Amino acid sequence: MTRIVVAGGGTGGHLYPGLAIARALVKARSSIEPLFIGARRGIERDVLPKTEFPHLLLDLHPLYRTAVWNNWRTIVGGVSGWRAVGQLMRRDPATVIVGTGGYAAGITLGYGVVHHIPIVQQIGDVRPGLTARFFSRWTREAYLNFPEAALVLKAHHEGALVDTGMPIDPPPVPRPDRRAARARWSFPADGGSVLLIYCGSQGSLAVNRVVADWVAQGLPAGLHLLWTTGRATYDQFKHLESPTVRVCDYQSPASDAYAVADLALARAGATTTAELLAWGIPAVLVPLPTAAADHQTTNAVALEQAGAAIHVPQSKLTTQRLDETVRALLADPAALARLVAVAAVRARPNAAAEIARRILAVVDEVSRAQPRSSRA
């Protein structure tokens, strides 16, 4: 059996790509045994125990930029995390380490560099995080969701930066029947359009308030809303349910929502944008303004410049702006078609399988380089 360590987390954007890669690795080669390293403070604390993979959670802390006196916790957590990773690696050596971002990735990739364990990275955003940027010079291969990220990374060697797209669950083949998908939500089988509003599991109060005012003002004729409010604010908006507006807290998996959508109003996280591109859904992107290093804005700007989406900053999202934007798209089928066409060019629905194939090539290279005695 071959151990591959997947390190990262903190947010779903760092954890779920790792899970997609791990499952693609096992599917491609049954002898692969993924093991996850994450942080006790991250989303992985709740998600990983429900998966099929063994895992180690480290007591890590962020850098306290304002309350600097708390950084002793960061130092202590880093030291204890390093020791825990070392104990694990000595007991169960990894052939390759896959970093997906976050504090746990930083500790584990650092251990890999010091102990000459090959490292690769999956990088989701146009503006890579600190961990991704710092370790890029030692990374055998970096799998980019946005090719624009290559402009700010130092490559280990020529060809190390690979435009693979984001590892996601790809749309089914064949695609779900549109009439059946509409029936699932009690929308008319034909005619009109469905706008999906999707801002993650917790939603966005700012976006939801604008949508609520828009519903009260009156939607464009023939438009239906599938409005996922997020769990945190569902109770505030569920009363707006109607034959043309379906209100739910969250959709997981999101395939039932994507299958019915003709266009979307969404955040600009790496996973969300990759899924919208893969499904060919024209999108109006409203980035989360408090995202780390404002990375969602750079994602949205890159997609708008490529012609694959429309970017509206949250500070400029008003009821009037939303109404005008949606009405303009509905009145211009050619504009919608252009967005869909560019989305198809940018889409990488099979990214997980491609990344797994490339990681296995690194595994095979390492195995060939090992002396026969060490493989016995």
The pLDDT value given to residue 372: 57
Q: Are residues 154 and 206 in the same domain?
A: no
* Domain of 151, in residue numbers: 2-169+350-375
CA dihedral 333, 335, 336, 337 (to 10 degrees): 90
Rounded to the nearest 5°, which phi and psi values hold at 119? -120, 145
Q: What Å distances lie between residue 182 and 35, 44, 201, 245, CA to CA?
A: 40, 34, 22, 13
Q: Are residues 98 and 212 in the same domain?
A: no
pLDDT tens series, the chain, 376 aa: 899 999 998 888 899 999 999 999 999 999 999 999 999 988 899 999 999 999 999 988 777 767 777 777 778 777 888 999 999 999 999 999 999 998 899 999 999 999 999 999 999 999 998 899 999 999 999 999 999 999 989 888 889 999 999 999 889 989 889 999 999 999 999 899 999 999 987 789 999 999 999 999 999 999 999 999 998 899 999 999 999 999 999 887 788 899 999 999 999 999 999 999 999 999 999 999 988 888 999 999 999 999 999 999 999 999 999 999 999 999 999 999 999 999 999 999 999 999 999 999 999 998 888 765 454 4
Q: Are residues 307 and 358 in the same domain?
A: no
Q: Are residues 304 and 325 in the same domain?
A: yes
Q: Are residues 116 and 197 in the same domain?
A: no
The pLDDT value given to residue 221: 93
The pLDDT value given to residue 144: 97
Tokens describing residue 85? 């990773």
Q: Are residues 259 and 311 in the same domain?
A: yes
Flag whether the pTM goes above 0.75.
yes
Q: Are residues 100 and 220 in the same domain?
A: no
Q: Are residues 359 and 323 in the same domain?
A: no
The pLDDT value given to residue 376: 43
DSSP for 269-337, please give it. Answer: -HHHHHHHHHHT--EEE---TTSGGGHHHHHHHHHHHHTS-EE--GGG--HHHHHHHHHHHHT-HHHHH
Q: Are residues 135 and 63 in the same domain?
A: yes
Q: Are residues 249 and 159 in the same domain?
A: no
DSSP for 146-163, please give it. Answer: SGGGGGG---SSTT-EEE
Q: Are residues 160 and 222 in the same domain?
A: no
Give me the CATH number covering residue 100.
Answer: 3.40.50.2000
Contact 57, 84 (CB under 8 A): no
Q: Are residues 188 and 81 in the same domain?
A: no
Total domains in the chain come to: 2
